[in-house]
């Protein structure tokens, strides 16, 4: 193939002919300087941290969409399915990923369950983590999100970290807002990355500690603007990631969008492509080619470095995407799941006033656009017939979490910033334990949305205005094996219904909803066991005493 080769090591562009045999590059013949009449070849993009499950697609279906955007590999944490199915779920992801030539690097989840303050479907202990890390199928110890456990030297967690060191596997971090001596102590245990930085100051300090910073731009959490100045200062220490990418957003683009955005920001082409292509391959020792002789023939073809439109994607010499169309097969998968709860009633979602009280001050979770963190607010409750009820006019809605693994009384709280004026939205994608989470304006709509998911044994749903909608997710209540473009179309429809009919105002209401039960991200969240104060790491009452 004759084209302009973008050599990321020599930092040069030259006209050359690339040849490969049996999937490996055997020759790069340089003919001269850049020839703008020709197309351009460069290494493929790598998403340095992503939960495949958040795309609501199996690995094989995820790959079909990602290659269109020039992505050839992901560093994938199967933490979500692991919280539902344990080691069985991790192995499911590995085996499904092997069915396509895409380069998946799966990690051993370090925190299953994430906390003891919620009900998960499985536990992965130190010995199981050790067995996973000893496998060639597992490339690293996935995000060590229990940073308080690291700081306190929690024995099980330290054993997992030690297994990673013994197997020479990278240790990924997850410590939002952690700075100063605590951050230094955390990093000293060999934790090498962080994708949770949300300020420049935090990112700068962690780079100085030897931690590589992943600039994240996903469907819910977006930290590009805050962190992009680090790229020119520390080009060898920065990578790009999506973390969580819903199917509609994956259809629109992937790491290629971050590349374009960074170039438009004025970043050097060489620094940008080092973050997008080279740094993840080197840090995680990925079997991904970088256009060197004897490398796998993994590369992308673009029109030019200014417009950066992806024309073709190759994996091990095989053309897998061409002119915006995927060439990977549309594969179905086995349905594995763990879902065993009975339908709920509106009475179970009722929030009663204390006896003899006319109203009460309540704690309210404040969801934030583009962030996983929340704030804690207080609000004088709206009441009706002895119950504390949602107040859509004030955008204070009810939120409930229902245990999906066995029947139990729902946990109920209140939340702000979803903007619903009627109805309810619900999902069984609810980090990290993936119980059912629902936000709504009234108990009847919430009941309808929740029970749609229970009947389907997983999905995202909406109910209101006399209508219901459901996207089934039969694999672990997290994923579908249907064609990814079809899933994206269905998701887009339900997302539009939530916004245009029910009134949701968030850019990604379902993605934001999925993080409202994530107990390791400050400040106030809701698990199936009740309202949770992340600052003090304890359950607290909804009413303010």
Q: What is the 3-state secondary structure (H, E, C) of 326-357?
A: ECCCCCCCCCCCCCCCCCCCHHHHCEECCCCC
What Å distances lie between residue 327 and 66, 70, 72, 314, 321, CA to CA? 11, 13, 13, 10, 5
**Same structural domain, 306 and 182:** yes
424 touches 464 (CB < 8 A): yes
**Same structural domain, 413 and 446:** yes
- Burial annotation 467-477 (CB, 10 A radius, 16+ → b, else e): ebbbbbbbbbb
Q: How far apart are CA 451 and CA 461, in angstroms?
A: 9
**Same structural domain, 289 and 362:** no
Nearest to 161 by CA among 126, 211, 124, 135: 126
**Same structural domain, 64 and 204:** yes
Does 339 fall in a domain? Answer: no
3-state secondary structure 70-121: CEEEEEECCHHHHHHHCHHHHHHHHHHHCCCCCEEEEEECCCCCCCCCCCCC
**Same structural domain, 201 and 131:** yes
Nearest to 353 by CA among 345, 361, 363: 361
Note the pLDDT tens digit of each residue in 325-336: 999 999 999 999
Q: How far apart are CA 317 and CA 25, in angstroms?
A: 8
Q: Where in the sequence is the domain holding 470, given as residue range(s)?
A: 346-539
pLDDT band at 220 (very low <50, low <70, confident <90, very high): low
**Same structural domain, 319 and 412:** no
Judged against a pLDDT cut of 80, whether residue 443 lies above it is answered with: yes
Does 76 fall in a domain? Answer: yes
Region 124-130 average pLDDT: 98
User: If DSSP codes are grouped into helix, strand and coil, which group holds residue 517?
Assistant: coil
Region 120-135 average pLDDT: 97
Note the pLDDT tens digit of each residue in 429-442: 999 899 999 999 99
Does 545 fall in a domain? Answer: no
pLDDT band at 37 (very low <50, low <70, confident <90, very high): very high
Does 198 fall in a domain? Answer: yes
Taking each continuous run of H as one helix and of E as one strand, the counts in the chain are 17, 30
**Same structural domain, 26 and 169:** yes
Q: How far apart are CA 443 and CA 445, in angstroms?
A: 6
541 touches 364 (CB < 8 A): no
Does 332 fall in a domain? Answer: no
* Boundary-marking domain end, from 258, 291, 326: 326
Cβ atoms < 10 Å from Cβ of 173: 28
Q: How far apart are CA 21 and CA 247, in angstroms?
A: 35
Does 341 fall in a domain? Answer: no
Q: How far apart are CA 461 and CA 296, in angstroms?
A: 42
Per-chain mean pLDDT for the chain: 96
Q: Write down the pLDDT at residue 61.
A: 98
Does 335 fall in a domain? Answer: no
Region 306-324 average pLDDT: 97
Region 150-175 average pLDDT: 96
Q: How far apart are CA 245 and CA 427, in angstroms?
A: 15
Beta bridge partners of 425: 439, 462
**Same structural domain, 237 and 318:** yes
Count of domains for the chain? 2
Q: Write down the pLDDT at residue 62.
A: 98
Does 333 fall in a domain? Answer: no
Note the pLDDT tens digit of each residue in 354-394: 887 888 999 999 999 878 889 999 999 999 999 999 999 99
pTM equals: 0.93
Q: How far apart are CA 427 and CA 436, in angstroms?
A: 6
Cβ atoms < 10 Å from Cβ of 354: 11
**Same structural domain, 140 and 63:** yes
**Same structural domain, 359 and 318:** no
Q: Write down the pLDDT at residue 115.
A: 86
Q: How far apart are CA 308 and CA 257, in angstroms?
A: 9
Q: CATH number for the domain including 71?
A: 3.20.20.140
Lowest mean pLDDT, pick from 36-40, 310-314, 520-524: 520-524
Judged against a pLDDT cut of 90, whether residue 520 lies above it is answered with: no
User: If DSSP codes are grouped into helix, strand and coil, which group holds residue 459?
Assistant: strand
Region 45-73 average pLDDT: 97
* Boundary-marking domain end, from 277, 296, 326: 326
Q: Write down the pLDDT at residue 185.
A: 97
Judged against a pLDDT cut of 80, whether residue 545 lies above it is answered with: no
**Same structural domain, 158 and 25:** yes
Q: Please state the length of the chain.
A: 545
**Same structural domain, 143 and 276:** yes
């Amino acid at each position: 193939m004759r084209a302009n080769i973008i050599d990321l090591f020599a930092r040069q562009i030259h006209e050359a002919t690339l040849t490969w045999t049996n999937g490996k590059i055997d020759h790069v013949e340089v003919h001269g300087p850049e020839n703008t009449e020709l197309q351009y070849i460069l290494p493929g993009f790598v998403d340095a941290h992503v939960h495949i499950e958040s795309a609501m697609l199996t690995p094989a279906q995820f790959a079909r969409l990602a290659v269109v955007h020039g992505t050839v590999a992901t560093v994938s944490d199967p933490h979500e399915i692991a919280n539902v199915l344990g080691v069985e779920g991790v192995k499911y992801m590995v085996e499904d990923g092997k069915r396509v030539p895409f380069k998946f690097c799966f990690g051993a989840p370090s925190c299953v369950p994430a906390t003891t303050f919620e009900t998960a479907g499985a536990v992965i202990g130190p010995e199981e983590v050790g067995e996973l890390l000893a496998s060639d199928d597992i490339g690293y110890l996935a995000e060590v999100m229990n940073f308080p456990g690291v700081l306190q030297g929690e024995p099980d967690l330290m054993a997992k970290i030690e297994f990673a060191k013994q197997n020479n596997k990278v240790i990924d971090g997850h410590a939002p807002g952690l700075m100063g001596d605590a951050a230094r102590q955390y990093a000293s245990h060999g934790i090498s990355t962080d994708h949770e930085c949300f300020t420049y100051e935090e990112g700068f300090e962690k780079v100085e500690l030897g931690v590589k910073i992943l600039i994240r731009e996903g469907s819910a959490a977006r930290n590009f603007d805050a962190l992009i100045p680090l790229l020119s200062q520390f080009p060898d220490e920065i990578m790009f990631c999506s973390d969580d990418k819903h199917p509609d957003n994956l259809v629109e683009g992937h790491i290629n969008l971050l590349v374009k955005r960074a170039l438009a920001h004025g970043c050097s082409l060489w620094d940008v492509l080092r973050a997008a292509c080279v740094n993840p391959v080197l840090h995680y020792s990925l079997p991904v080619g970088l256009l060197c002789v004897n490398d796998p023939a993994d590369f992308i073809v673009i029109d030019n470095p200014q417009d950066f439109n992806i024309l073709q994607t190759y994996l091990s010499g095989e053309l897998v995407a061409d002119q915006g169309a995927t060439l990977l097969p549309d594969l179905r998968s086995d349905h594995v799941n763990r879902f065993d709860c009975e339908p709920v009633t509106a009475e179970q979602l009722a929030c009663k006033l204390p006896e003899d009280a006319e109203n009460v001050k309540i704690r309210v979770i404040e969801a934030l656009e583009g962030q996983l963190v929340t704030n804690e607010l207080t609000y004088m409750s709206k009441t009706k017939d002895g119950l504390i009820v949602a107040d859509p006019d004030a955008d204070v809605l009810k939120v409930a979490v229902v245990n999906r693994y066995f029947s139990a009384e729902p946990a109920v709280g209140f939340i702000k910033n979803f903007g619903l004026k009627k109805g309810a939205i619900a999902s069984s994608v609810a980090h990290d334990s993936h119980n059912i989470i629902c936000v709504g304006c009234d108990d009847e709509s919430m009941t309808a949305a929740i029970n749609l998911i229970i009947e389907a044994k997983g999905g995202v749903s909406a109910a209101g205005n006399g209508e219901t909608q459901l996207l089934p997710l039969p694999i672990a209540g997290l994923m579908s094996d249907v064609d990814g473009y079809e899933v994206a179309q269905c998701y887009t429809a339900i997302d539009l219904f939530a916004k245009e009919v029910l009134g949701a105002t968030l850019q990604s209401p379902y993605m934001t909803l999925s993080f409202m039960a994530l107990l390791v991200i400050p400040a106030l969240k809701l698990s199936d066991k009740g309202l949770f104060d992340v600052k003090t790491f304890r359950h607290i009452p909804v009413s303010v005493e």
